[in-house]
């Protein structure tokens, strides 16, 4: 019962956004998260259910606080490559992909920040260029391949 309520929040916002908009609600939600997690581990079935119900109310309150007035989604970043039509979503929570699909269309590829780091680490020359020239921009990934270079 908690997962859908949590996803409704985390698919759109980060907890830091709630802290900025309503510090007291953020404090209460984090406190409730602790109570909920403890009840799941050491509590009785009754305690787990009570804390689950309270957690649902907490997530709903957090969503309501960021919907009125509406806060922009900040749980994800969306990138688009016009040459290929590739739309990439970078998010820590996989719940964000559903939100982005409803806003930006069905064809999206979700990657986590750790996956982006691994991709960049796998492209050593790109990683080095971006390290020394942080404002350098990738405008195309097409270009000569080693086989084409050898044939020329």
Give the model's pLDDT for residue 102. Answer: 76
**What secondary structure letter does DSSP report for 73?**
P
CB 88 within 8 A of CB 78: yes
**Is the domain of 63 the same as that of 7?**
yes
pLDDT at 143: 55
Q: Does residue 45 sit in the same domain as residue 11? A: yes
- What's the pTM? 0.70
Residue 145: inside a domain: no
33 and 80 both lie in a single domain: no
Helix, strand, or coil (residue 72): coil
Selected residue with higher pLDDT from 149 and 17 = 17
Q: 124-132 vs 113-122: helix axis angle to the nearest 10? A: 100
CB 111 within 8 A of CB 90: yes
Share above pLDDT 70 across residues of the chain, in percent, rounded to a whole number: 92
Tell me the average pLDDT across 34-47: 97
67, pLDDT greater than 90: yes
Do 48 and 97 sit in the same domain of this protein? Answer: no
Q: pLDDT tens digits, residue range 18-32?
A: 999 999 999 999 999
Identify which has the larger pLDDT, 78 or 146.
Answer: 78
Do both 7 and 43 map to the same domain? yes
User: For 80, how many CA atoms within 13 A lie in the half-sphere containing its CB?
Assistant: 6
Same domain, 37 and 89: no
First to last CA, the chain: 63
Strand partners, 104: none
CA angle 19, 68, 92 (to 5 degrees): 45
Boundary (domain end) residue, out of 67, 87, 122: 67
- Would you tell me how many other CB atoms lie within 10 Å of the CB of residue 120? 13
Of 25-29, 71-75, 98-102, 140-144, where does the model show the most confidence? 25-29
The burial of 143, by beta-carbon neighbours within 10 Å (0-12 exposed, 13-18 middle, 19 or more buried), is given as: exposed
- Which two three-digit tokens encode residue 3? 């997962």
How many whole angstroms separate alpha carbon 57 and alpha carbon 79?
33
- Residue 144 inside a domain? The answer is no
Judge whether 14 and 75 are in contact, CB under 8 Å: yes
Host domain of residue 119: 76-138
């Amino acid at each position: 019962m908690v997962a859908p309520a949590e996803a409704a929040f985390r698919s759109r916002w980060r907890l830091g956004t709630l802290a900025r908009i309503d510090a007291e609600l953020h404090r209460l939600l984090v406190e409730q998260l602790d109570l909920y997690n403890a009840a799941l581990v050491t509590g009785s079935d009754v305690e787990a259910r009570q804390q689950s119900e309270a957690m649902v109310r907490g997530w709903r309150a957090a969503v309501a606080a960021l919907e009125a007035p509406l806060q922009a989604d900040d749980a994800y970043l969306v990138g688009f490559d016009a040459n290929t039509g590739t739309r990439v979503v970078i998010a820590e929570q996989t719940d964000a992909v559903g939100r982005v699909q409803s806003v930006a269309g069905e064809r999206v590829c979700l990657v986590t920040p750790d996956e982006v780091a691994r991709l960049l680490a796998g492209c050593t020359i790109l990683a080095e260029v971006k390290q020394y020239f942080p404002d350098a921009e990738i405008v195309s990934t097409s270009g000569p391949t080693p086989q084409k270079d050898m044939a020329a």
